[in-house]
Structure 1
Amino acid sequence: MIETQEQRDEKHQTLVEHLGELRVRVVYCGYALIIATLACYSISEKIFDFVRAPIAPYLQGGGLVFTGPMDKFVAHLKLSLVCGIIISCPFWLYQIWLFVAPGLYAKEKKYSVGFIFAGTGLFLLGVAFSYFVVLPMAFHFLMNYGGDVDKPMITIDHYMGFFTQICLVFGAAFEMPLIIIILGMMGVVTQAFLREKRRYAIMTIAVISAIITPPDLLSMVLMLIPMCLLFEIAVFFVGFFEKKKTLAAVNERE
């Protein structure tokens, strides 16, 4: 079938509208991030004490070192930005929902509150898991590797880079089941498809875990186990929503 000029114009207009909507959501997320970052910067010293805690037992005097006059200031800015991302999580998740909601059925849009709470909870769970489980175990391995003759002198910039990368990566990784569930609600993936490709998914998770975690087997396993569990939870909920959609369709026909 040959596409008419009117149909091409309609597609172009739809694409432009989607890009415009995406731009608005990104701008709103940027505003929320700036406000949250400024709020966190006002208490950055207290936050820094909390962030330093996992590695403090392995440092001489319990403090980090810095070699440049701007290092400590920049570290506080980076920390404030990361905390701003975490605090503004519910808002930017809401903006993401507003962007994808037009592609869902009316009955599926009622899950917006659940989406925001689940997304926020999963992100915070990933950050908490990295802080209370992954980082202490990783530092215990890395700081004691090769004996105790050599003494660590960790700089603020290196530690902050390492800390923020791990926390944000785990926080983002724990959003995986929510993304899969949304794709399932939109009809992009099905429970049967996910079950069929389970071994490929686990292999992919294992490769990603090896890349984004510290260079030790323990950290990789600590990422792999919860991610596989979250994948199975996502598969279950995709099937749950499929059944609800099927039942709703049957009731409408009746």
Structure 2
Amino acid sequence: MNQNPNQDDEKNMSLIEHIGELRFRLTRAAFAIFFGMCLCWGFSEKLFDIIRKPIQPYLPNGGLVFTGPIDKFMAHIKIAFVAGLVVSAPFWLYQLWKFISPALYRNEKKMATGFIFFGTLQFILGVLFSYFVVLPMAFKFLMTFGGDIDKPMITIDHYLGFFTQTAVVFGLTFEMPVVITFLGMMGLVSQRFLKEKKKYAVVGITAVSAVVAPPDALSMILLMVPLWVMYEISIVVVGFFEKKKTLSESFEN
């Protein structure tokens, strides 16, 4: 396969240069998220009404409670941050792409649009999955466990912490096929490698689910299963691009 001479220079960057590039990309990604957060701040009240819906049926007065003067204000900041993270996904995914693209061949760099599009789509799907599937099931189990004599008084701070953690974790979880696919395109993993290491991946998935999922067994299972499915999808997608790359090289030869 023909390579651009500049590509070799990019691939031979020193460790210090890689760290500098990573810092530069992280800074720009942070600015994009901050801008998205500021944009969503004006809609935080409407977003709060949407975020409250999964737990609202289990609240005696239909609303959350707060115990500190700034709790509600901080709640709107958290809401704006999560919404800004979703809105700015194409921008921070673009920064991620710019960081990894020097290790790719010229024809693989043309996949930038697909990487950003599917990366954004997968992140949003993960957030929606947590909102429409994970949270309703988790609250139905947690809020009705042990009978209905005890009445919940859920604070805004605790609920938003739970909601934010769940949404971000599932959003990032659904990025797995995109990330592994491009690791495959960089030659760092192969379909054979992913299949051979599947049992280790399952152990790792279980451990990650236990650590990052909300502290209940149901949430852990609801995270572990999609992670496993995403890993299986990654194997198929990496294999597809390997075959495509082999055919392309055979035609060139």
- Give TM-score, length-normalised by structure 2: 0.91
More displaced stretch, 231-240 vs 209-218: 209-218
Using the TM superposition, give the Cα deviation of residue 39 of structure 1 relative to its aligned residue in structure 2, in angstroms.
1.1
More displaced stretch, 119-128 vs 173-182: 173-182
Q: Which residue is equivalent to 2:39?
A: 39
Using the TM superposition, give the Cα deviation of residue 13 of structure 1 relative to its aligned residue in structure 2, in angstroms.
6.3
Name the CA shift for 1:33/1:214 in 2 (closer, same or farther; >3 Å).
closer
Using the TM superposition, give the Cα deviation of residue 203 of structure 1 relative to its aligned residue in structure 2, in angstroms.
2.2
Name the CA shift for 1:246/1:11 in 2 (closer, same or farther; >3 Å).
closer
Question: Is residue 127–residue 168 contact of structure 2 (8 Å, CA) maintained in 1?
Answer: yes
Q: Which residue is equivalent to 1:197?
A: 197
Using the TM superposition, give the Cα deviation of residue 227 of structure 1 relative to its aligned residue in structure 2, in angstroms.
1.8
Question: Is residue 37–residue 80 contact of structure 2 (8 Å, CA) maintained in 1?
Answer: yes
Name the CA shift for 1:180/1:28 in 2 (closer, same or farther; >3 Å).
same
Q: Which residue is equivalent to 2:3?
A: none
Name the CA shift for 1:21/1:212 in 2 (closer, same or farther; >3 Å).
closer
The one-character-per-residue Cα deviations of 1:94-142 (angstroms, maximum 9, x if unpaired) are 1110111010011111111110111111111111000000001101111
Q: Distance in 2 between matches of 1:12 and 1:202?
A: 34
Q: Distance in 2 between matches of 1:139 and 1:172?
A: 22
Q: Which amino acid aligns with 1:229?
A: V
- Give TM-score, length-normalised by structure 1: 0.91
Q: Which residue is equivalent to 1:26?
A: 26
Name the CA shift for 1:237/1:12 in 2 (closer, same or farther; >3 Å).
closer
Using the TM superposition, give the Cα deviation of residue 170 of structure 1 relative to its aligned residue in structure 2, in angstroms.
0.6
Q: Distance in 2 between matches of 1:156 and 1:224?
A: 27
Q: Distance in 2 between matches of 1:161 and 1:218?
A: 18
Q: Distance in 1 between matches of 2:216 and 2:165?
A: 16
Q: Which amino acid aligns with 2:32?
A: A
Considering only aligned residues, what root-mean-square deviation do their CA atoms show, in Å?
1.8
Using the TM superposition, give the Cα deviation of residue 40 of structure 1 relative to its aligned residue in structure 2, in angstroms.
0.9
Question: Is residue 206–residue 224 contact of structure 2 (8 Å, CA) maintained in 1?
Answer: yes
Name the CA shift for 1:17/1:207 in 2 (closer, same or farther; >3 Å).
closer
Name the CA shift for 1:238/1:214 in 2 (closer, same or farther; >3 Å).
same
The one-character-per-residue Cα deviations of 1:61-87 (angstroms, maximum 9, x if unpaired) are 110000110100011111111111111
**Alignment partner of 1:120 is 2:112:** no
Q: Distance in 2 between matches of 1:139 and 1:56?
A: 10
Using the TM superposition, give the Cα deviation of residue 201 of structure 1 relative to its aligned residue in structure 2, in angstroms.
1.1
Q: Distance in 2 between matches of 1:13 and 1:93?
A: 22
Q: Which residue is equivalent to 2:239?
A: 239
Question: Is residue 21–residue 99 contact of structure 1 (8 Å, CA) maintained in 2?
Answer: yes
Question: Is residue 82–residue 164 contact of structure 1 (8 Å, CA) maintained in 2?
Answer: yes
**Pairs within 5 Å for 1:1-254:** 14-253=14-253
Q: Percent identity?
A: 58
Q: Which amino acid aligns with 2:226?
A: P
Q: Which amino acid aligns with 2:46?
A: K
Using the TM superposition, give the Cα deviation of residue 151 of structure 1 relative to its aligned residue in structure 2, in angstroms.
0.3
Aligned residues: 244
Q: Which amino acid aligns with 2:159?
A: Y
The one-character-per-residue Cα deviations of 1:10-68 (angstroms, maximum 9, x if unpaired) are 99963333233222212211221121111111111001000000000111211000011
3-state SS, counterpart of residue 144 of structure 1: coil
Question: Is residue 11–residue 102 contact of structure 2 (8 Å, CA) maintained in 1?
Answer: no
Q: Which residue is equivalent to 2:4?
A: none
Q: Distance in 1 between matches of 2:182 and 2:47?
A: 34
Question: Is residue 131–residue 167 contact of structure 1 (8 Å, CA) maintained in 2?
Answer: yes
More displaced stretch, 16-25 vs 107-116: 16-25
Using the TM superposition, give the Cα deviation of residue 247 of structure 1 relative to its aligned residue in structure 2, in angstroms.
2.0
Using the TM superposition, give the Cα deviation of residue 148 of structure 1 relative to its aligned residue in structure 2, in angstroms.
0.7
Q: Distance in 2 between matches of 1:12 and 1:197?
A: 29
